[in-house]
Amino acid sequence: MGKGAYKRGMGGALYRQVESLEEYVLIAQDQALVEIFRRTPDGNWLLRSYCGLDQTAPVESLEIAIPLAELYEGIELPPPPEPVAATGERYTEN
């Protein structure tokens, strides 16, 4: 299991047990991707994903917004994967 999968899965479960924690942010190192987990008023957790250098990730608990282009500035990222249809066939746009 990769570190990212651990943080979202087992590690994330540990974070979510901290009662005072309102929000936590995961930043991918191999693609322009930020995931923000936010506790809702009813105690559930909401996941928002921001993918692509044109996105801005709002961190409400800190009252800031993080432009992914600035976050990943100077970092060489591999090209994004091609979209794949749910059947496993390659997806092509017309």
Q: What is the pLDDT of residues 50-86, one digit of tens each?
A: 999 999 999 999 999 999 999 999 999 988 767 666 5
15-57 pLDDT, tens digit per residue, is 788 888 999 999 999 899 999 999 999 999 999 999 999 999 9
**CA dihedral over 73, 15, 3, 49, signed as positive or negative:** negative
83 in any annotated domain:
no
40 in any annotated domain: yes
Has residue 16 been placed in a domain?
yes
DSSP 14: H
Number of domains present in the structure of the chain: 1
pTM (two decimals): 0.72
Domain with 38, as residue range(s), is: 3-71
Q: Report the C-alpha gap between 34 and 27 in whole angstroms.
A: 5
* Domain annotation covers residue 87: no
Residue 93 placed within a domain: no
Cα 46 from Cα 67, distance rounded (Å): 20
Please indicate, yes or no, if residue 13 is contained in any of the structural domains: yes
Whether 88 is in a domain gets the answer no
